[in-house]
Structure 1
Amino acid sequence: MHVAETLARSLQRAECQYDLVEHDHSATSLESARKAGVPASRMAKPIILDDRRGHYLMAVVPANRQLDLGKVHKGPWRWQLTSEQSLGGLFRDCERGAVPALGEAYGMGMLIDPALARQADIYLEAGDHESLVHLSIDEFFKLAPNAQLCELSV
């Protein structure tokens, strides 16, 4: 199992209680949930947005839901989906496509869908395609104290 260095430091700094869950190789958050045997509604799926001017934002929704980009309002920026090529530079310690749903640790703002925040506990990618971090929602918010709750999904 591999936990991204940035995520590991954040977990340690916040003194979070968490478990690591191994699963067969997966390509998406929804597939990770299925292969790990966890409810997709408790799997945090990060979507990285940018404003074409160097500002980034992470929207986090349950893996079984889709982001409604029209619901993303934060500041004067017009947000768009970030290109796959840009993600490697933002998440250097993660395998491509295995980004932890923890934007604050990577220097970006976060919006979290209330459907995810209502869960008692959640799972997020650990930085590779075979590991998840499992923690209570209270522990998660210790890692993202500045995140805003916002209806984001359909």
Structure 2
Amino acid sequence: MRMAATLQRSLARAHTRFDVVPHPHSATSLESARVANIPAERLAKTVILDDRQGHFLMAVVPASRHLDVGKVRKDARLWQLTHEADLARLFKDCELGAVPAVGEPYGMNMVVDPQLTRQKDIYLEAGDHENLVHMRMDDYLKLVPDAEVCELCH
């Protein structure tokens, strides 16, 4: 699989500069960072949450950290991890577990941990388990202009 079509369209629309970093197949974001030889604190790990009432939220944290679901306070909802079956439906152009850190094109709000936004550049899943998209942080923030930056890690 190549880059997810939804991500590709978003990158083109935002006129962002990026490069694609191929790497050996990996199953987790931490493993992707290791096999791509990049700092895990610069790789965006995407965690999809829902309120079990049809609302979804994309939480983005550094691959080196863990999401603290209790810190997610968006829209006064009770958020929990989304079931895998829903992920396949929501991200049809992505392999399971390789969701790009861009929520708006997939119709969902985003929250991003500031530990990630303080980095000079960022890597995100391209939609498969063998490629990452690399760009400057200011370009990423143009790509996700409505993302809310808030503490998400423990």
Q: Which category describes the TM-score, using the shorter chain as reference length? A: over 0.9
What is the alpha-carbon root mean square deviation over aligned residues?
A: 0.8
Distance 1:24 1:73 in 2: 36
Distance 2:126 2:20 in 1: 8
2:87 corresponds in structure 1 to 87
1:107 corresponds in structure 2 to 107
Distance 1:4 1:11 in 2: 11
1:50 corresponds in structure 2 to 50
* TM value normalised by structure 1: 0.98
1:61 corresponds in structure 2 to 61
In structure 2, the residue corresponding to 1:61 is in which secondary structure?
Answer: strand
Distance 1:133 1:105 in 2: 16
Q: Which runs of 5+ in 2 are unaligned?
A: none
Q: Deviations over 1:7-53 (max 9, x none)?
A: 00000000010000000000011111111000000000010000001
Number of equivalenced pairs:
154
Q: Which runs of 5+ in 1 are unaligned?
A: none
Residue 128, structure 1, aligned to residue 134, structure 2: no
Moved over 4 A (4+): none
Distance 1:35 1:102 in 2: 23
In structure 2, the residue corresponding to 1:110 is in which secondary structure?
Answer: strand
